[in-house]
Amino acid sequence: MLEVRRAQDRGIANLGWLNSHHTFSFGHYHDPQQVGFSDLLVINDDRVQPSRGFGTHPHRDMEIISYVLDGALEHKDSMGNGSVIVPGDVQLMSAGTGVRHSEFNHSTEQVTHFLQIWIVPGRKGVTPGYQQTNFGPEEKRGRLRLVVSPDGADGSLVVNQDARLYAGLFDGAERASVTLGAGRNAYVHVARGSVELNGERLEAGDGVRIRDAGELTLANGQGAEVLVFDLRGQELPVM
């Protein structure tokens, strides 16, 4: 059974320089029915104005993924990393014992649109780490490309949790399926466009909880970019 959460039901934070839609409770937005799913704690759909961003701030014991849709995101951290993340790039920062970082819109003219994703780690107190890889459109067109996994399979980024993240692009007759293991949960987020998931029509910003997921099929896309999370079979994150 698909439990759909429509885009318009998400929390909203509009700070002028930042327009953010929160799939799950975050910051000043709290909904006791939306406090994450399995080990997935945060999906923030962020649009950052030119030359603005998140100043240096700390994190610990969290797996933080940035997925850029439009524009460019400039990253700096206390580990000495500095990079500019563009569409197709996936960034994963393991905060572990503690890290400080900043994320700014690298452009002076264009809005940067990206997804900020937090996954609760499987182990606390690990050494902080940073990874970044580009997965071009040819790798995601009409298929689900593994971009994050616990073992780095197929060149994916390594996350400190029993979780996998797939990304796909779908238009017209393109379709793809993934079968998850017994007892696994899934969360599907439509980053843009529209698509059918097991026959259910979804629009940009929609998300779906799926328990004991089995086979998932994405089809009949219209400019769709979709993220599929393969998660442990538990209901809520354990901090």
Q: Residues 17-73: pLDDT tens digits?
A: 999 999 999 999 999 999 999 999 999 999 999 999 999 999 999 999 999 999 999
Could you tell me which of 128, 142, 131, 123 has the C-alpha nearest to residue 221? Answer: 142
Whether the Cβ atoms of residue 45 and residue 23 lie closer than 8 Å to each other: yes
Q: pLDDT digits over 156-172, tens only? A: 999 999 999 999 999 99
* pLDDT at residue 182, rounded to an integer: 94
Question: What is the β-pairing status of strands 157-158 and 145-149?
Answer: parallel
Domain boundaries, the chain: 2-231
The CATH architecture of the domain made up of 2-231 is Sandwich (2.60)
d(CA 79, CA 170): 37
* pLDDT at residue 239, rounded to an integer: 87
Distances (CA, A) of 161 to 63, 89, 91, 153: 8, 21, 16, 14
d(CA 135, CA 149): 14
Strands (E), the chain: 2-5, 11-14, 18-22, 40-48, 53-59, 63-70, 73-77, 82-85, 89-94, 99-105, 112-119, 129-134, 145-149, 157-158, 164-170, 176-179, 185-197, 200-203, 207-210, 215-231
Question: What is the β-pairing status of strands 82-85 and 89-94?
Answer: unpaired
